[in-house]
Structure 1
Amino acid sequence: MSEVFIVVGLRAKVGKEEELRRDLKIVADVSRQEDGSISYELFVDRSDPALFVFVEHWASQEQRDKHHNEGPHIQHFHEKGAKNVDRTEFAFFLDRVD
């Protein structure tokens, strides 16, 4: 199994920045506790409060996939919180260069 690094940028809908911030913070807090999560951080752009960035580090692709496909907090976000996302700005799935 090899580690997985992910960087994802989500743009909030206009006027929904605080709601999205709250929902994404819950996702990050719960995700940090999941098996295989090495780190799971949420950031907001200093000059653009509507742009949220996740930086994820997983022990394996399988554990990341389980998180993304089976995590009840992720499913809840897709059902309830995703309505505040305007679009995904970027999504990078990265391998470390050794």
Structure 2
Amino acid sequence: MTELFIVVGLKAKEGKEDELRLDLSVLVEPSRAEDGNIRYDLFEDRDEPGRFVFVEEWSSTQARNRHHEQGPHIQHFHDNGAANVAEKMFAHMLKRVV
């Protein structure tokens, strides 16, 4: 298996920062409990509240895909919380160099 690192940046719609913070926060613990998850952390920009970054590490692409495509908490977010997202600023799938 090849480990996979992911960073994703999301910007909240104006006035929806608190709602998106909650929407994203409830994803963390269930995601950490998933098979193949190594790291799943949520950060918010200190200078620009409402700009969030996920840092994820998965044991394999397959584990990440199961999470993203089958995780009930992720599906719930896509069906409900994603409405509070103004923009996906970036999404990078990374491999370790050193």
Instruction: Answer whether TM exceeds 0.5 for this pair.
Output: yes
> How far off is 1:50 after superposition?
1.3
Matched length: 98
CA deviations on 1:9-50 (whole Å, 9 max, x unpaired) are 000000000000001001112101110000100000000101
> How far off is 1:81 after superposition?
0.4
Letter in 2 for 1:9: G
Letter in 2 for 1:11: K
**Larger strand percent:** 1
Aligned to 2:39: 39
SS of alignment partner, residue 52 of structure 1: strand
Aligned to 1:7: 7
**Identity of paired residues, percent?**
58
Letter in 2 for 1:39: R
Q: Distance in 1 between matches of 2:17 and 2:90?
A: 18
Unmatched segments (≥5 aa) in structure 2? none
Aligned to 1:61: 61
Aligned to 2:91: 91
Q: Distance in 1 between matches of 2:28 and 2:92?
A: 17
For normalisation by structure 2, the TM-score amounts to: 0.98
Unmatched segments (≥5 aa) in structure 1? none
